[in-house]
Each structure stands twice: as structure tokens, then as C-alpha cells.
Structure 1
Amino acid sequence: MRPGGAALEYRNSGIWRDSTPVGDLRRWCRETPDAVAVKACRAGVGPTEMSSVEIGYAEYGRHVERFAGALYELGVRPGQVVSCQLPNWWQAGALLLAAMRLQAVLAPVMTTIRPRELERVLARVGASVFVTVDEWAGFDHAAALREMAPRLPQLRHRVVLGKADDGEIEFGSFFEDTPWEQRHPVALDDAVEDPDRVAAIFFTSGTSGEPKGALHTHNTLYATVSAIAEENHIGPRDVLFTPHSAMHILGHLLALLPLSTGACSVLLDSWSGERGAAVLARTGSTVLIAAPFFVEDLITAGSGQPQDLPALRMVGCGATTVPRPLVAEVPRCSGWRCRAGGA
């Protein structure tokens, strides 16, 4: 169907487009296959102890195709809901893109959401596949899902990243180690893209009542992503770090941002100001986009003194009210350029 009315106007103005993040990934796999797509950092025991992995665009594309094949094997087809509750690990981003490749509807859930709210979300969206972590931040997510599963008749498959129990699918062996892309039609080059179909459901916090599910298309998300990229001149040479959860709409948008421009995305799974400063330094991040309290943590971690971050050219601070003193404090203590509302 050809777009008309407001949709046509949005397309003509460049606010909307005819492709999706799957098309972005396909483009960079072809044009810059060896460029780093993701730098993923996992927190260790010490305050700045971390392990990290770098994944190039071509390799990332292969992971996405394999994960899409795994979802296809589990019966996921266009319009079906795939939900997940994962930390900021590279597998989370590849899984979300894999679901997009199949034209499934994403329903990400933050790891801070506990069983009562999680069960309500899964029941309301009718998720057929749910992917979670075995344990995170001292909470047994797999056990919680196991307990509620009998009350979720539409939930056909429970996938656990980590230790899986009977009746569950272990993510590593099923998604990462099995070459499903050789058995199923999931190549990025063959993707059918429809940026105007419902692509994701994000739930509100519920502070003014019960959480409400907001439906998004790829284009309603792209309108925000493209505006941030244009306003902040983000391009293929940038390395973008955001500490926000990729399971939250803001973190999801900021994960799509580097993908849309061919830049590199930096992930950190467990936040502290000390770890954040270490990540910025070790990854050579050029852009940080974060809510005010993250930026305040970074300043506190440095005791208000200038930090040695020569690659960092800009801090985008937003998502909520940005205190005026913080806008002045950022360049004073560190020399960073701070843009209020950059997120």
C-alpha cells in the first residue's frame, strides 16, 4: 500500500523512510564489514574490573542471521510477539535485530521488572517466545519464569541465557552454536522490510496507573533516532556509549542510533560511575548520551577533577529535566561539550 496523508508528508520530509534497522545492518555488512559494530563490556568483581568483546559488522550480521534462524525454528513468524529480559550484552542486540528480520513484534522488558508485572506483560502481549537470563543482580529470573509459565498458555518456548532447567532452551547451544541460517530462509539480503507495521511494544512505568503498552513502528522510532544523529553529527567514525538498558525504549533508541549511521555501539551491563569512566576511556568513546544521574555519577567518580578522555567530543544529557548547574559543571570539570536534551 502506498503511503498517503501524513505518512507521505513524513517520508517526503525525511522523517520517515522505506527501510528498517535490518536494512541498516545489511548496508554496513556490505560497505564496512570489518568496522566494529559493538564493543560489549561486562563488569567484573572490582570497581573497574571488566571483560570485553568487539564484534565487527559482518560478524554481527552472521549472528543476527543465526539468531533469526533459531527463532524461525521455534515457530516465530511475522506479527508474533517475541519478548526478552536481558542485561546489556551483545546477544540482546543481536536477538532484537533477529526478531526484526522475521518481522516479529518485540516486547523488551527490563531486568528490574519482577514476576507480578512480568506476568501481566507477557499475558497482555501474548508472547510466544520469551528469552531471559538465568540470574541477574541476585534475582533468579529463570525460576520466576518457570513458576508463572503454566498460567501463560500462549508462551510456547522459554529460553534462558545461562543455566537452563528441564523444559527450557539453553541460549548458547541453541542460538549461538547451531547453524540455523543454513536450514532456514533468514538471510539479511532476502529480508522484506515494512517500516510501517507494528514493530515493538514498550510499557510505561505505571506511575500514573497500570502500565500501558505503547505500540511503535520502525518509522516512529526512526524519527527520533535520525533527529539525534543529525543534531549531534553522529557518523561512522563515532563510538557511542549509553548506559541505559537496551530493554527500555530510550536504551533501544540509542542502540539503533549507531546502527543507523554505521557507528560503533558501546555496552556496559552493570553501571557505576567508576565503571562508566573506565568504559569511556578503554573504548575510545566519542559520544556519551545519558540521563543526568549517570553524568553526575561520572563527575563524582572523578571527584570533580578533569578526566583523561581525549576521544570524547560530546555528552548528550536528557530523558528528563537537566539541572542547569550540571550543564555548566560538565565542561568545567572535564572539558566535555554538554548538550542538554541530546538524548
Structure 2
Amino acid sequence: MTFGQRTAFTDGKQVISFETAKKWSVRIAKHFVKLGLKKGDVLAVQLPNCLEFVLAHLAAAQIGLIFNPLSPNYRQQELLYMLGHCETKAIITTEKYKHYNLKKLAYEVKKKLPHLEHIIVTGQSKQGEGISFFSLLEEDPEGISDSDLMMHEYKADDPCLIMFTSGTESNPKAVLHTNRTFVATHLMNGPEYGITNQDTILSLTPLAHMFSLPMIMLGLQAGAKHYLFPEYDVKKLVKIFKKEKITFLIAAPAHLIDILHHFDKKEADETSIRFVLTGGTKIPSQMVKELIHVLGCQVGAQWGMTEIGAGTFTRPGDDPTKAWETVGCPCPTGEVMIVDENYRSLPTGVVGEIAFNGDSLFIEYYRNPEATEAAFTEEGFFLTGDQAYIDQEGYLHFTGRTKDIINRGGFKFHASEIEEALQMHSKIRQVAIVSVPDIRLGERACAFVTLRENQHLDFDEMKSFLLQKGFAKYKIPEYYEIRNELPTTPSGKISKEPLRKEAKLLGQSKM
């Protein structure tokens, strides 16, 4: 292997070299074959960001298994649907995550899913119930050789990945990717990010999400070290940044806002971070400016989806303003078009729905032909449901989700405008703006927020803050709800559907 004994992956305690990662992934693949798993079978993994997750992913690729990463936050209802929908043959899980017994959950689900044949468990002794992941690393299984793996060798258009959408539907859609749409296209993105063998990568977002999963292979491609952080805790980051000399950080805006609130300038000056890649939601412009100032790094803004991977992103050589004004240009294998409600192409500078086409586009919603057909135009462009416009230089300016447009008495504005401003308020930790039905105006806005520890922010203070920012009065939320926590999807985005239901009841109470 090109990078041999250099560190490929570490969790701060255990270190795996590139050579060992190859050796162990092949060994695990042989054990999968011994268990009766074959090319085209679905392997689910419900783990945090950890070494076992990475090795399972690499092993699945060795024999053409369809890898299905699942959030450790899923419980019985989600697992029954997802594992049942995919007819999953095996699942890799762990004994405990955040004080919850995922192993017990897997066995409860297995009783109701006859096709689920194997449960493989990390973090336990070999004597525990189920197959110990540790035992798969000890030695090759008897009767399985390298030549046996060749029988399962994958091709470019073989399915390799199923990821469920992180939306708020009761039954999320299963997005199917092949080696061509997932592996080949993301490997072309790696050089665009500027990742080298001098980098140490850290993903604060889950590897079970499309934002971070490609970083496994991009690190291997470039020879970079990858630090695996199983449970996000902003208080531990200063030490990790310094000790591991993190240079390439993948994080959601919420993580980065936390960092700005918790790091002082001295701590920030002691870090080695040169590039921060963020996305997943509207990116606050003030946050980007502060990151550049405080960390002395470059910031990359990215827009993407489970269905398309990294659709657009800014490059390290771009003017810094692009990272707070835009979400970049299309990926090397992609094409973006802005369309109206009749799917006709719109001119430069006009806001409409983002339609995407290119090699990274998913194949189908697995076993859901109706949803697949509804998602595409006749020309083969995928309709994303996101709103944006393209400028004269070809950069995409993301404005938000279509359903987040609020129409107050004929005056329309996007919820993300207000969310972006409130996210940067020193007292606010989370914010979501949704519409409230109104008998006279049609809709009014409601701000759902959580506050930082020991903080108080009343309605009048929130209103004054927005007016001082220069927002028109019709954009100021007229309902204000403080919560201990806002509902989130497994990928960490705020889930607005439960909030919309609450807002509907608020509106009805006023009618």
C-alpha cells in the first residue's frame, strides 16, 4: 500500500496504519463470506464515528455488500422499517451508546425480521451474545481464501450504498448509490478540497451521514490521517485540536457556532486548522467571517444532499467572500440548473428550485418507483426542493427550502433569513422559524428557540435585535416559543415537521 505504516485512522487511543486497515478489512470481508453474506446483500451499521465503523465500511466494499449506515439515535420504530425495507442480512451494532443499549435493541428488532440473520457487536468480549466484532480481527476464517473474495468482486454500476433521507417523513426514503455514483465521483472531489498527506481530518458530523462518509475514502486517497470522534463534546475539542494537530475540519454550522462561543483567542491560536468545510443548512455569514478571524483558517461552504453527495462547494483557492455569500460551484461531475414551478430554466440571478444532474446522482429510491419518478424532470434533472439562484460567475446562492417560504399577507420572505441572524445571537443555541396559519394574513412567523446555559431572552429583546439588524417589520416573528431542545434529525438538522404541527395549533388557538 502506498502509505504503508503511516497512520490512517485513530480514535486517540488505538492507531491503525494504512497497511493494517487494508489487512483487517480483507480479513473482515472473509468472515462476512464465511457467514454467508454475498454481493448485493445489505449490511447495516449502527455505530458512532469509530474505528469499527470504518473497517466495516471498507470490508463491505471488498465483496460488494450494500453498506447501510444508520444513526445510533434510531430506535425500534426506525430500525424495523429500515431493516425491513432493505431486507437487511446483518447488522453491526454496539453494546452501549449514550447510556442506551443498542445491542438489546438489535435483538428486539431481530425477533420481528426473519431475514436478519446476523448481529455483530463491538465493544464486548468474545463470550457475549452475538458475533464479537473483535473476534473477526484475530485471524482469517478457515476455508476462505483471497480467491474466494474474487467471486464477490464488484463492478462500477453495482449498488454499494443505501442511505435513508434525513427528512421528517414518517417513512424516509432509501437512497441507492452505486460505486460509480458514490465512490468514483467523490474521489474526484478530494483534490478539489485540497486534502493532502499532510492533513489530519476530523468530522464532527456523523459518518452515517452523506456529509462525512466520503471523508473515509478521501483520506485514504490522499494519505491523510483521520481522527474519529465518537461523541460530540465541544469542551473536549481544544485538547483534540492541539494534540492531534487537526488541519481539516468537517462540521455543521451549529458545531462551529459552539466553537466560537467556547474558544478564546489564545486557544484558537494554538490550533493547526487550515480549512473548515461546512454545510447542511443555511450557513450564517457572520459565523464564516468570525471563523476566518478567530481560527485564521479558510472556510469552505458546501451544498449537497443524500441523493447527490456534494453538489456544490467553494474551493480553498476561492475568494474568502464566496464562503459566506455562496455555497460554491458545482462538483466536477455535476450540473446545476435553477427552474420555476413548471421546471423551466430560469436566468442568472433569479431565485427558483435547484435541479441537479450529473454522475453523482443516485440511481433510485430503493423499492419506491413512485417517489423516484416524481423526483426527476423529463430531462433527467433531480428536483431538490431547495431554493437558490446562480450568479454571473456560476456560484450558487442558497436561500433555503421551498416549504420554508412564509407568505405574510402577500409579502414573502424566507425563514432562513431570520434563522441566520438569530443563530448568531450570543444567547441562542438553536433556532427554527416556521409559519403559523393566520385567518387574516394567511401566515405569520413563529420563532422556536433554545437558549444557551443560564441565559434569558424575552420576545421584546429578540424583536429589538432583529430590528437593529435592519429587517423589515413584516419579517419579525410574531410568535416566540422557548424550548429546552428542538427536535432534530439523525444528521443533526432541526426537524421542522413537529414544529409546524405545534405552530398550526398556535394558529388555531388564535382563530
Superposed counterparts of 1:227-246, under 5 Å: 227-246=188-207
Q: Which SS does the other structure have where 1:83 is aligned?
A: strand
Aligned alpha-carbon RMSD (Å): 2.3
Alignment of 1:63-212 (within 5 A): 63-163=24-124, 168-173=130-135, 175-180=136-141, 183-186=143-146, 192-212=153-173
- CA–CA separation in structure 1 for the residues paired with 2:118 and 2:46: 14
Q: After superposing the two structures, state which structure 1 stretch, 124-133 or 315-324, moved more.
A: 315-324
Q: Deviations over 1:50-88 (max 9, x none)?
A: xx2221111111111111111111111111111110121
CA distance in 2, matches of 1:53, 1:188: 30
Q: 1:321 to 1:186 in 2, by over 3 A?
A: farther
CA displacement at 1:262 relative to structure 2: 2.2
* Structure number, greater radius of gyration: 2
Task: State which drifts further: 149-158 or 241-250.
Answer: 241-250
The amino acid of 1:38's aligned partner reads: F
| Shift of residue 167, structure 1, vs aligned partner | 5.4
CA apart distance, 1:231: 2.4
Shift in CA distance, 189/286, structure 1 to aligned 2, threshold 3 Å: farther
Q: Tell me what 2:259 maps to.
A: 298
Q: CA deviation at 1:195?
A: 2.3
Deviations, residues 215-258 of structure 1 (Å, cap 9, x unaligned): 01122123652354232211222211111222222221222221
Match of 1:307 among 268, 274, 277: 268
Tell me if the contact between 2:89 and 2:117 (Cα under 8 Å) persists in the aligned partners: yes
Rounded to whole Å, the distance in 1 between the matches of 2:81 and 2:175 is 15
Post-superposition Cα deviations, 1:14-36, rounded to whole Å, max 9, x if no partner, equal xxxxxxxxxxxxxxx2x221121
Please say which of residues 161-170 and 61-70 is displaced more in the overlay: 161-170
Alpha-carbon distance between aligned partners in 1 of 2:268 and 2:250, rounded to the nearest angstrom: 17
Q: Which protein, 1 or 2, shows the higher relative CO under an 8 Å CA cutoff with sep ≥ 6? A: 1
Look up the match of 1:33: 4
CA 1:189–1:258: 2 relative to 1, 3 Å: farther
Q: Which has more helix, going by share of residues? A: 1
2: distance between equivalents of 1:100 and 1:193?
8
- Aligned equivalents of 2:277, 2:112: Cα separation in 1: 43
Give the TM-score taking structure 2 as reference length: 0.56
CA contact (8 A) 1:272 1:297 kept: no
Alpha-carbon displacement from aligned partner over 1:140-168 (angstroms, at most 9, x marks no partner) = 11111212212111011111113478752
Alignment of 1:41-60 (within 5 A): 41=12, 52-60=13-21
Q: Identify if the C-alpha distance between structure 1 residues 287 and 187 changes in structure 2 by more than 3 Å, giving closer, same or farther.
A: farther
4+ residue runs over 6 A deviation = none
Q: 2:241 touches 2:271 (CA, 8 Å); kept in 1?
A: no
Which of 286, 294, 303 is residue 333 of structure 1 equivalent to?
294
**Aligned twin of 1:45:** none
Displacement of 1:188 in angstroms is 11
Change (3 A) 1:188 1:91: farther
**Alignment partners' CA distance in 2, 1:310 and 1:303:** 11
2:242 to 252, 257, 281: 281
Q: CA deviation at 1:293?
A: 1.1
Whole-angstrom distance in 1 between the partners of 2:7 and 2:247: 14
Distance 1:277 1:187, change over 3 A: farther
Secondary structure of 2:228's counterpart equals: strand
The aligned counterpart of 1:267 is 228
Aligned to 2:213: 252
In the other structure, the counterpart of 1:26 is: none
Larger mean CA deviation between 141-150 and 191-200 belongs to 191-200
Gap runs ≥5 in structure 1: 1-28, 42-51
Where 1:61 maps in the other structure, the secondary structure is helix
The letter of the residue matching 1:171 is F
Instruction: Give the CA deviation at 1:271.
Output: 0.8
Report the residue type matching 1:312 in the other structure: I
Equivalent pair of 2:206/2:212 in contact (CA under 8 Å): yes
Q: Mark the CA change 1:129 to 1:208 in structure 2 (over 3 Å): closer, same or farther.
A: closer
Structure 2: distance between partners of 1:209 and 1:313: 40
CA contact (8 A) 1:101 1:186 kept: no
Once the two structures are superposed, residues 271-312 of structure 1 have per-residue CA deviations (whole angstroms, 9 ceiling, x without a partner) of: 111222322221112211211111122222214655134532
Amino acid in structure 1 at the alignment position of 2:133: F
Asked if the contact 2:63–2:149 (Cα under 8 Å) also holds between the matched residues in 1, the reply is no
- CA–CA distance in structure 2, aligned partners of residues 105 and 142 of structure 1: 21
Report the number of matched residues. 302
Q: Provide TM-score, normalisation by structure 1.
A: 0.81
The 3 A distance-change label for structure 1 pair 273 and 189 is same
Please give the alpha-carbon distance, in whole angstroms, between the structure 2 residues aligned to 1:105 and 1:92.
14
* Cα pair 2:40 2:64 within 8 Å, conserved: yes
| Greater percentage in strand | 2
* CA shift for structure 1 position 131: 1.0
2:500 is aligned to: none
Matched residue SS, 1:153: coil
Q: Identity of counterpart residues, as a percentage?
A: 24
1:172 partner amino acid: F
